[in-house]
Homo-oligomer: A and B are copies of this chain.
Amino acid sequence: MDGVKALFFDVFGTTVDWRTGVAREAKSNLEPLGYSLDWLEFADAWRAEYQPGMEEVRSGKIPFARLDVIHRRMLERIRPKFGLQKVDEAVLQNLNLAWHRLDAWKDVPPGLHRLRQKCLLAPVSNGNISLMVDLARRNDFPWDAILGAELAGDYKPKPRVYLVAVEAFSLEPGNCMMVAAHSSDLQAAANVGLRTAHVARPNEHGPGKGESKPTVPVDVSVRSFEELADVLAK
C-alpha cells in the first residue's frame, strides 16, 4: 500500500446504515400523524429511486442539482404508492432530511480515526456538502475535506467525480484509494486509475442483502474499517 496518500469514501451504505435510519426517521415523522407503513419497505422504495434520480443529471437531461433536491424528487415519486399525498410541506421537508440523520456502522468512527494517522480522508459521495457535514458531526467522521458530487457538479460513477477529488488534494489517481461497499463504485474508480478497497456490508439492504465480497478485482477486501486500518498499517 506504499504511495496511498488519500482515502476516498463512499458514504451511503459504506459508512452509514441508510436503511434502518431512514425507516426510523420516516416512522418518527409520519406515525404521529396516524400513518402506519412498513417503514423498511418505505426506506427501500425511496432508495430504489436513487439511480434513476441521479441518471437524469448524469445523462444531461436536467442540470446538476444537489442530492437534497434529488431526494425530494424521489420522495415525490413514491408518495402516492404509500398514501402520503396529504402530508404537509413542513413534514415533507423534515422527512427529506432523514438522510442527514443516519448512524454510522459501528466500526467506522474508530477505523477512520486510525486511518487519519496515515492518510488524508474525504468522502467522495453523491451526497451534498451540507448532508456530509451533518453526518460527520453526528458520527464524528474526521474528514480533511468534503469532496464528491457537489464539488464536481456531477454524480458518480461519472469519471469526473473521482478525478476532481484527486485534483482537489493535488495528488495523482494512483495515490488515492476509493473505499466502498459497492463493486460498481470501485470499478468506476479503478477505471480512472484509483486504487480500491472493498468493505463488506452484507446487511446493507436487509439481513443478507448486501455485498459480502466484491464482484470486481480490487486491491484490498476487508470486513470493516478497523480491518482496513490494520491492512494499511502494514
**Which residues of A are interface residues toward B (Cβ below 8 A)?**
68, 120, 128-130, 132-133, 136-137, 143-147, 150-151, 168-171
A136 touching B144 in the complex, CB below 8 Å, given contacts A68-B170, A151-B151: yes
Residues of B within 8 A of A168 (CB): 128-130, 150
Are A145 and B132 within 8 A (Cβ)? yes
Q: Taking the full assembly, how many copies of this chain does it contain?
A: 2
A133 touching B68 in the complex, CB below 8 Å, given contacts A146-B145, A146-B146, A151-B151: no
A97 to chain B, nearest CB (A): 9
Residues of B within 8 A of A145 (CB): 129, 132-133, 143, 145-146
A104 to chain B, nearest CB (A): 17
A137 touching B144 in the complex, CB below 8 Å, given contacts A150-B168, A168-B150: yes
